[in-house]
Amino acid sequence: MLRVNEMNTFIGRKRIVKNVSLQVSPGDIVGLVGPNGAGKTTIMKTILGLAKFTGNISINDKEVTENNHNALSEVGALIEHPAIYPFLSGLQNLELYSHDKHDVMNIISMLQMDAYIKGKAKGYSLGMKQKLGIAIALLNHPKLIILDEPMNGLDVEATIGVRKIIKQYAEQGTAFLISSHILSELQKVMTRIVLINDGKIIVNRDIKEFNQISHQKYRLDTEKNEFSMQLLKSNSIPISKNEDYLLVKKEDIFKAQDILYKNQIHLKEMSPMNANFEQIIVSILEKQRGQHHEK
Ligand SMILES: Nc1ncnc2c1ncn2[C@@H]1O[C@H](COP(=O)(O)OP(=O)(O)OP(=O)(O)O)[C@@H](O)[C@H]1O
Ligand SMILES: [Mg+2]
């Protein structure tokens, strides 16, 4: 579907995206994840033929160039601020791009936009505009959909709804490339993660594999944290302390739970910690370096 090979993107003289290669196949939901300024938006803009680049980009074996956008005819996209005509209603905005009334109505209802879709777009809130932008990207069932930070400004319910729609389209064969600076937002939907830092891909893996290497930690709170800490340590479970909580590696949580239980210490809380990018990136780079040494 989408093939990007050795892509470098330049803004002015500066190289912003560095040797990026990636592929998205039908039904894949590829998450482009990384901290602010990593280059996610620039990668997406480049794929859409909106930036100066070297390397190859092709969609369904058709080459994308800065001057030739034919390859993009079956691509839906939402990049940064959605292109919305403020003096038209949401519905009229959608009808500009599609004459398929059934498709338009279906998308409006899936995104729960019925209540305000006939009002002028200039009166929409941030989240309402964002949903309209997503709706535009979904129109006409594109083969590839590129969404830059689609969850921006969406409430919890809308975020869950959008995840559901993405899964549904992917099951029908649509390929997705979706960015986020919040890992957990996409963790539940993506089938593959491409982690970007400083314009480079540092991880490109199946999400299941990634979850295993990302060193996710769990936060434990017990009745007696000081005692629990000594107890777990003496059972050779690596453990650290953060404010009032104990931190345990994901692979050790069941063992830790058993030990606490056997010693009749009640667990008050056990929840996954949202590791920040810095921690994840550092730990992955360290791990990669470690692997190189082993070779
Ligand atoms: N028009 C521009 N002129 C100069 N530098 C730019 C321009 N657009 C982006 N950059 C630089 O390119 C780098 C990548 O920016 P980009 O917007 O792609 O990051 P991002 O990963 O989308 O970040 P965010 O999570 O904040 O959206 C940043 O260092 C940014 O300063
Ligand atoms: Mg961005």
Domain spans in the chain, listed from the N-terminal domain onward? 2-212, 216-272
Ligand nearest to the CA of 181: 1
Q: Lowest mean pLDDT of 87-96, 231-240, 277-286, name the range.
A: 277-286
- 208-221 average pLDDT score: 79
Please work out whether the CB of residue 41 comes within 6 Å of at least one atom of ligand 1: yes
Please work out whether the CB of residue 37 comes within 6 Å of at least one atom of ligand 1: yes
CA geometry: angle at 289 spanning 5 and 186, to 5°? Answer: 55
Confidence band for 214, pLDDT divided at 50, 70 and 90: low
Do 135 and 83 form a contact (C-beta atoms < 8 A)? no
148, 150, 152, 153 alpha-carbon torsion, rounded to 10°: 140
Q: Is the pLDDT of residue 81 over 70?
A: yes
Please work out whether the CB of residue 111 comes within 6 Å of at least one atom of ligand 1: no
Six-digit token string for 284: 């992955």
Q: Lowest mean pLDDT of 53-57, 62-66, 207-211, 217-221, name the range.
A: 207-211
Q: Whose CA is nearest to atom 2 of ligand 1?
A: 11
Please work out whether the CB of residue 150 comes within 6 Å of at least one atom of ligand 1: no
- 106-112 average pLDDT score: 95
Please work out whether the CB of residue 36 comes within 6 Å of at least one atom of ligand 1: yes
For the whole model, what pTM was predicted? 0.83
Do 178 and 167 form a contact (C-beta atoms < 8 A)? no
Taking the C-alpha atoms of residue 52 and residue 15, their distance in angstroms, rounded to an integer, is 10
Return the H-helix or E-strand segment holding 222: strand 217-222
Query: Does 268 or 276 have the greater pLDDT score?
Result: 268
CA geometry: angle at 200 spanning 149 and 194, to 5°? Answer: 50
Our mutation pick for probing the ligand 1 site, out of 11, 43, 177, counting the most ligand atoms within 8 A of Cβ, is 11
Q: What is the DSSP string of 41-86?
A: HHHHHHHTT-SEEEEEEEETTEEP-SS--GGGGGEEEE-SS----T
Which residues are found with C-beta within 5 Å of the ion, ligand 2? 40-41
Please work out whether the CB of residue 180 comes within 6 Å of at least one atom of ligand 1: no
Q: Is the pLDDT of residue 229 over 70?
A: yes
- Ligand 2 centroid to Cα of residue 284, in Å, is 22
Q: Whose CA is nearest to atom 29 of ligand 1?
A: 37
- 6-24 average pLDDT score: 96
Q: What is the DSSP string of 94-123?
A: HHHH---HHHHHHHHHHTT-TTTTTSBGGG
Confidence band for 99, pLDDT divided at 50, 70 and 90: confident
- Ligand 1 centroid to Cα of residue 16, in Å, is 8
For 2-212, CATH number out of 3.90.1150.10, 3.40.50.300, 3.40.50.1100, 3.30.70.3270 equals 3.40.50.300
Q: Is the pLDDT of residue 35 over 60?
A: yes
- Ligand 2 centroid to Cα of residue 41, in Å, is 4
Q: Is the pLDDT of residue 231 over 80?
A: yes
Q: Is the pLDDT of residue 111 over 60?
A: yes
Please work out whether the CB of residue 195 comes within 6 Å of at least one atom of ligand 1: no
Specify burial of residue 147 (Cβ count, 10 A radius: 0-12, 13-18, 19+): buried
216-272, which class in CATH?
alpha beta
Taking the C-alpha atoms of residue 199 and residue 38, their distance in angstroms, rounded to an integer, is 5
For residue 242, what pLDDT is reported?
A: 80
Taking the C-alpha atoms of residue 181 and residue 242, their distance in angstroms, rounded to an integer, is 24
Please state, rounded to an integer, the average pLDDT across all residues of the chain: 91
Q: Is the pLDDT of residue 254 over 80?
A: yes
- 153-164 average pLDDT score: 93
- Which distant-in-sequence residues (6+ apart) come within 8 Å of 254 by Cβ? none
- The identity of residue 124, as a single letter, is Y
- Ligand 1 centroid to Cα of residue 123, in Å, is 29
For residue 290, what pLDDT is reported?
A: 67
Confidence band for 146, pLDDT divided at 50, 70 and 90: very high
Query: Of all atoms in ligand 1, which is nearest to the CA of residue 149?
Result: 27
Please work out whether the CB of residue 34 comes within 6 Å of at least one atom of ligand 1: yes
Please work out whether the CB of residue 38 comes within 6 Å of at least one atom of ligand 1: yes
Please work out whether the CB of residue 49 comes within 6 Å of at least one atom of ligand 1: no
- The identity of residue 45, as a single letter, is K
Name the percent of the chain in helix, strand, coil, to the closest 5: 40, 30, 30
